[in-house]
Structure 1
Amino acid sequence: MATVASLSICGVTQSSPDRKISLPSSDPYAFRVRTNFSFHSITLRASNSTSTSRFVVHCMSTGTDPPPVSETKLKFLNAYKRPIPSIYNTVLQELIVQQHLMRYKKTYRYDAVFALGFVTVYDQLMEGYPSDDDREAIFQAYVKALNEDPQQYRADAQRLEAWARAQNAGSLVEFSSKAGESEEILKDIAERAGGSGSFSYSRFFAVGLFRLLELANATEPTVLEKLCAALNINKKSVDRDLDVYRNLLSKLVQAKELLKEYVEREKKKREERIEPQKANEAVKIVLAENQYASK
């Protein structure tokens, strides 16, 4: 089966769950640090020939520490307990790990373009899934596992899609001089990306931009360049990430075709095995009827 590529999204780093740093025991002041996501404990121990003193400082979590990846994956599995075909499950599991790391970066801030990009990627990846209801249930479980609102994702994506369909290359790029809900979203992104606030670029954001251009029938490279400039986004990063996205979709299509061929081949084998059985049953019935008639 063809190898299924996956989106690769930069993430935050996590410290080891139990790391100690110690000075040699001969030093009069032993210093130990134990770190994880829930607390920090610093122990200072001074010793001499007559007494030993110990000073412990506990720095409790303020609630901003990110959960471990395993917790997000477990929340997803608990929310959607039905088996997922491996061709889809492989991509989903890698995607949720990478989005977890991006989601809990300090600079992360949800926006509608990011939501449009994720919804676009998800719908493309899950195209052809056996059940529409299951596909939406998986979407709900996935987004909720990241402590976000799936209804908001869908609503914001649909709103931007409707807006983009009414635009053209010129009006899309000139959002800063226009008034409107979607225009205000883009203005806010441009301000934050320009350095006035928190902004974390991701490949989902790049796909969201491309989707806007696609719906506005403005996919020329020059339009993308102008839109990136208006949003204070690095076009080279967008070009690179869109190439990754296209490559992923291409390989996923190949894998789905191979899976379809395999299913059809197995179905044909089962039918070929069933036909002789049906013929034997028919012969038995005829023979039994003949025997009955001859009596």
Structure 2
Amino acid sequence: MAAISSLSFSALGQASERKVPVSATRSFVSNFDGFRFRTNYGSDSFVVQTSNSSSRMVIQCLSSVAGGVPTVSVPTVSDTKLNFLKAYKRPIPSIYNNVLQELIVQQHLMRYKRTYQYDAVFALGFVTVYDQLMEGYPDDEDREAIFQAYIKALKEDPEQYRNDAQKLEEWARAQNATSIIEFPSREGEIEGILKDISERAGGKGSFSYSRFFAIGLFRLLELANATEPTVLEKLCVSLNINKRSVDRDLDVYRNLLSKLVQAKELLKEYVDREKKKMEERVQSQKANEVVAKCLGEFQNGGAS
């Protein structure tokens, strides 16, 4: 991966100057025919199967153990998506909805993975991605309502996500390149959270690494102004996390968000053009009405 400092979430919020074809509005979400997500334990797996036709798309999520005997009954991907649609019934512009639908499928698989256990770094990662994806959404209240519906559809607490993300951000702003990797030798609420993650990732409990965790990890470094690759490497060692996986996943999301910025810029240009056309039509109509009124007054005056 290139220098880690090249990935900045604040920079991704700015529009790209490079012009891209309209197809870019669809390229930032992956089109998949099938996706298999296996846990660290060979006896447990989730399978997503999709079949496309002109009328519908069917998605199934199955949980099984060796021998094909179901263990824990978990909601299907369709159940989670339906919960989201029930919780938020207003239409969502396609450029946002396409990404949300892709993310909720991925996060459903993470959420119901056997080794999954919620943690604050994961929450920070998701909140960071969500806020970047939804930046510029037409209505702030709707943006937060969508967030609430999304997390509740996964049977988790949106307030916990927001609160934990805020705590981590405040803590990270008070750190630097040295202090942030010294959490194992220090006491505190956030230090305790990171120690717990380190122990679980080291094999002393359930831990499920994900891209959202990688994003949350880098967000901590970004806020601490400690984005040098060596700092990330040391932090990964302290947390018992594979840095190669983190590098790969940061690249994936950097590309995703960059494409989203380009697509949103195209959408903005389209909306601005349509708005200008509408204003021109309104002005033209008003001018015609004024002319018609003047002609009417002239004709009436001539008749008298």
What is the TM-score normalised by the length of structure 2? 0.80
Q: What letter corresponds to residue 28 of structure 2 in structure 1?
A: A
Structure 2: tracts of 5 or more residues without a match: 1-21, 39-44, 50-60
Tell me the CA shift for residue 223 of structure 1. 0.3
User: What do residues 230-252 of structure 1 show as CA deviations (whole Å, max 9, x unaligned)?
Assistant: 00000000000001111111000
Tell me the CA shift for residue 268 of structure 1. 2.0
Equivalent-residue separation in structure 2 for 1:6 and 1:169 (angstroms): 34
User: What do residues 166-187 of structure 1 show as CA deviations (whole Å, max 9, x unaligned)?
Assistant: 1111110010000000000000
Q: Which of 206, 211, 218 is matched with 1:210 structurally?
A: 218
Partner of 1:285: 293
What's the % identity of the aligned pairs? 73
Alignment of 1:131-280 (within 5 A): 131-280=139-288
Tell me the CA shift for residue 37 of structure 1. 6.2
Tell which structure's C-alpha radius of gyration is larger.
1
DSSP 3-state at the match of 1:174:
helix
Q: What letter corresponds to residue 263 of structure 1 in structure 2?
A: V
Partner of 1:5: 28
Tell me the CA shift for residue 80 of structure 1. 0.0
Equivalent-residue separation in structure 1 for 2:221 and 2:127 (angstroms): 16
Q: Name which structure has the greater RCO, CA cutoff 8 Å, separation 6+.
A: 2
Tell me the CA shift for residue 152 of structure 1. 0.3
DSSP 3-state at the match of 1:219:
coil
DSSP 3-state at the match of 2:164:
helix
User: What do residues 132-176 of structure 1 show as CA deviations (whole Å, max 9, x unaligned)?
Assistant: 000000000000000000000000000011111111111100100
1:66 aligns with 2:71: no
Q: Is the 8 A contact 2:36 2:48 kept in 1?
A: no
Tell me the CA shift for residue 287 of structure 1. 1.1
Tell me the CA shift for residue 38 of structure 1. 9.9
Equivalent-residue separation in structure 2 for 1:217 and 1:39 (angstroms): 44
User: What do residues 60-116 of structure 1 show as CA deviations (whole Å, max 9, x unaligned)?
Assistant: x77x32111000000000000000000000000000001001110000000000000
Partner of 1:94: 102
DSSP 3-state at the match of 2:122:
helix
Equivalent-residue separation in structure 2 for 1:16 and 1:111 (angstroms): 25
Tell me the CA shift for residue 283 of structure 1. 1.1
Structure 1: tracts of 5 or more residues without a match: 18-35, 43-58
Q: RMSD over aligned Cα, in angstroms?
A: 2.4
Change (3 A) 1:15 1:38: closer
DSSP 3-state at the match of 1:11:
strand
Equivalent-residue separation in structure 2 for 1:179 and 1:39 (angstroms): 41
Equivalent-residue separation in structure 2 for 1:272 and 1:205 (angstroms): 49
Alignment of 1:100-115 (within 5 A): 100-115=108-123
